[in-house]
């Protein structure tokens, strides 16, 4: 008698623990683990995100004793072909709630059904699936605080049990033309943290035991190691937010509560994108599109390469080029500078981030940019303009963050690193002068905002 088989199509759930879709697949019999390198997603990704993904897949493959099947191509064609080749009647997935993922999965579902096979969605990449929570009037939430309140009151399931009895097929990739792993991009001197489920859990447990209690105060300090840097593991599902929330329930501190709120922000933006998928590329508040934006030119390139002459802005953009990551406080500072000092449409900055960041997540990234630009959800008025000098001095008071990423300013001690124009030797090592006058550009931005309001 032929043993039943099913496919487990990994996407943004690159782990084996706390994985409901894996449990559902294992209940069908032997599991063929599959990842599809989709050109629609691989093509627009930058080298950093590609490299991190491939390393995460290598870690997953090691956990599966080399049994992960990797295919390249359109999933609409790949999934029916692999299912037929492996005699799998069902394809199990964690539900994808992004705009492209929803369209793709519907097309895959139809293609499988045409061959009398089934796509089975189990679980979500979030603690509460986007689209689940609604206001008392039945409408989507547009403001974070009431969403967060409903999110906490609703609650979430405990982490899924361990799939200890799951049996993974060996040799499922046999009969195809060689391995389909893409080549890993050469990142030069850029160093990525360890990828994969084991590394993510180790990082989370270290943060939980040693730094979570100080998170409420330290999270805004880019000069300190005050954050968990788990945004990339969460983006790729190397651990589930439900796992984090279960661990946080055993902690009683302001830091733990603040971290829980940050998870809620991530889920809020996913919920917004579920209800308004067009806001991944378009303005949530379309009236802000009437601002007098300038086309990206030399000033945009200076911003992107970290040579604006504003130290904390340049440190942030150079950190992104050096590590594929930027501290969250600095993300807000550099975003405000691009939109309100250089008057560039937020979508250009959002694309730049998605290209260079290892944690590039469409919902969090693009709605975070809209928040800074004043065109997104919540009370995020356009006239909230970040002063890059005062922000730098407040959150990097001794200039350590700036000196770490801007070597031209390492000769300036303490807070002097934030104002090289006030030091006699501030430009001695070749640091560029400021490309704009912040006070003037702030007035230009606010005057333009007043114009469209009237």
Residue from 358, 301, 357, 303 nearest 335 by CA: 303
- 67 three-state secondary structure: coil
- Percentage of residues in the chain having pLDDT higher than 90: 93
List every span in the chain annotated with CATH 1.10.579.10. Answer: 286-453
List every span in the chain annotated with CATH 1.25.40.80. Answer: 126-158+197-275
CA 258 to chain centre: 19
Contact 256, 213 (CB under 8 A): yes
Would residue 159 be called left, alpha or beta, if left means φ above 0 and alpha means ψ between -120 and 50 degrees? beta
Q: CATH number for 5-125: choose from 3.40.50.300, 3.30.1280.10, 3.40.50.620, 3.20.20.100.
A: 3.40.50.620
Q: What is the pTM of this model?
A: 0.94
- Percentage of residues in the chain having pLDDT higher than 70: 97
What burial letters (b/e) apply to 101-127, b meaning 16+ CB within 10 Å? beebbeebbebbeeeebebbebbbbbb
What mean pLDDT comes out for the span 246-257? 95
Does 4 score more than 60 pLDDT? yes
Does 1 score more than 50 pLDDT? no
Q: Concatenated DSSP letters for 179-208? A: --PPPPP--TT--PPP-SHHHHHHHHHHHH
Q: CATH number for 126-158+197-275: choose from 1.10.540.10, 1.25.40.80, 3.30.2270.10, 3.90.70.10.
A: 1.25.40.80
Tens-place pLDDT, residues 407-448: 999 999 999 999 999 999 999 999 999 999 999 999 999 999
pLDDT band at 3 (very low <50, low <70, confident <90, very high): low
Mean pLDDT is lowest, of 153-157, 174-178, 213-217, for 174-178
Residue from 38, 114, 113 nearest 78 by CA: 38
CA 79 to chain centre: 26
- 93 three-state secondary structure: strand
Contact 31, 211 (CB under 8 A): no
Does residue 236 or residue 164 have the better pLDDT? Answer: 236
Q: Beta 5-10 vs 90-95: how paired, if at all?
A: parallel
Measured CA to CA, the distance from residue 233 to residue 197 in angstroms comes to 8
- 215 three-state secondary structure: helix
**pLDDT at 173 (0 to 100):** 64
Tens-place pLDDT, residues 11-45: 999 999 999 999 999 999 999 999 999 999 999 99
Tens-place pLDDT, residues 209-228: 999 999 999 999 999 999 99
Measured CA to CA, the distance from residue 172 to residue 188 in angstroms comes to 35
Does 84 score more than 70 pLDDT? yes
Task: Enter the DSSP assignment of 420.
Answer: G
What mean pLDDT comes out for the span 55-81? 96
What mean pLDDT comes out for the span 165-185? 76
Measured CA to CA, the distance from residue 53 to residue 62 in angstroms comes to 14
What mean pLDDT comes out for the span 185-190? 94
Measured CA to CA, the distance from residue 179 to residue 20 in angstroms comes to 28
Average pLDDT, the chain: 95
- Virtual torsion, Cα 10, 13, 18, 22, nearest 10 deg: -10
pLDDT band at 174 (very low <50, low <70, confident <90, very high): low
List every span in the chain annotated with CATH 3.40.50.620. Answer: 5-125
- At the fourth CATH level, the homologous superfamily of domain 286-453 is DNA Cyclobutane Dipyrimidine Photolyase, subunit A, domain 3 (1.10.579.10)
Tens-place pLDDT, residues 266-288: 999 999 999 999 999 999 999 99
Mean pLDDT is lowest, of 236-245, 303-312, 352-361, 379-388, for 379-388
Measured CA to CA, the distance from residue 207 to residue 225 in angstroms comes to 10
Tens-place pLDDT, residues 294-307: 999 999 999 999 99
Measured CA to CA, the distance from residue 366 to residue 361 in angstroms comes to 8
Tokens of 375: 């065109």
Contact 72, 37 (CB under 8 A): yes
**pLDDT at 82 (0 to 100):** 96
């Amino acid at each position: 008698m032929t043993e039943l088989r099913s496919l487990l199509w990994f996407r943004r759930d690159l782990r084996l623990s706390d994985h409901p879709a894996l449990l559902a697949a294992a209940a069908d019999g032997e599991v063929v683990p599959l990842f599809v390198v989709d050109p629609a997603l691989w093509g627009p990704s930058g080298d950093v995100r590609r490299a991190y993904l491939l390393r995460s897949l290598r870690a997953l493959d090691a956990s599966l004793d080399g049994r992960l099947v990797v295919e390249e191509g359109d999933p609409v064609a790949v999934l029916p072909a692999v299912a037929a080749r492996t005699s799998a009647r069902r394809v199990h997935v964690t539900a994808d709630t992004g705009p492209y993922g929803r369209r793709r999965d519907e097309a895959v579902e139809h293609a499988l059904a045409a061959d009398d096979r089934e796509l089975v969605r189990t679980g979500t990449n979030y603690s509460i699936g986007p689209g689940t929570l609604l206001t008392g009037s039945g409408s989507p939430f547009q403001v974070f605080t009431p969403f967060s309140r409903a999110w906490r009151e609703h609650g979430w399931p405990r982490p899924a049990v361990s799939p200890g009895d799951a049996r993974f097929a060996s040799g499922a990739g046999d009969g195809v033309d060689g391995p389909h792993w893409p080549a890993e991009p050469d990142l030069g001197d850029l160093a990525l943290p360890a990828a994969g489920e084991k590394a993510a859990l180790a990082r989370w447990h270290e943060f939980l035991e040693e730094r979570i209690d100080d998170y409420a105060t330290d999270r805004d300090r880019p000069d300190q190691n005050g954050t968990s840097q788990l945004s990339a593991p969460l983006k790729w599902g190397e651990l589930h937010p439900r796992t984090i929330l279960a661990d946080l329930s055993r902690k009683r501190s302001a830091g733990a509560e603040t971290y829980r709120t940050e998870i809620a922000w991530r889920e809020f933006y996913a919920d917004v994108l579920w209800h308004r998928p067009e806001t991944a590329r378009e303005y949530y508040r379309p009236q802000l599109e009437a601002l007098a934006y300038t086309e990206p030119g030399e000033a945009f390139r200076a911003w992107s390469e970290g040579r604006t002459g504003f130290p904390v802005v340049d440190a942030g953009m150079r950190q992104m080029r050096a590590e594929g990551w930027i501290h969250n406080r600095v993300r807000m500072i550099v975003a405000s500078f691009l939109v309100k000092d250089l008057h560039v449409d937020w979508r250009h900055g959002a694309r730049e981030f998605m290209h260079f960041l290892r944690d590039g997540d469409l919902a969090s990234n693009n709605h975070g940019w809209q928040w800074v630009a004043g065109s997104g959800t919540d009370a995020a008025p356009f006239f909230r303009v970040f002063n890059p000098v005062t922000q730098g001095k407040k959150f990097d008071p001794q200039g350590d963050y700036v000196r770490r990423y801007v070597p031209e300013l390492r000769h300036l001690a303490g807070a002097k690193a934030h104002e090289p124009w006030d030091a006699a030797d501030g430009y001695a090592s070749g640091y560029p002068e400021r490309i704009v006058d912040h006070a003037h550009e702030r007035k230009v931005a606010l005057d333009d905002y007043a114009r469209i309001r009237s």
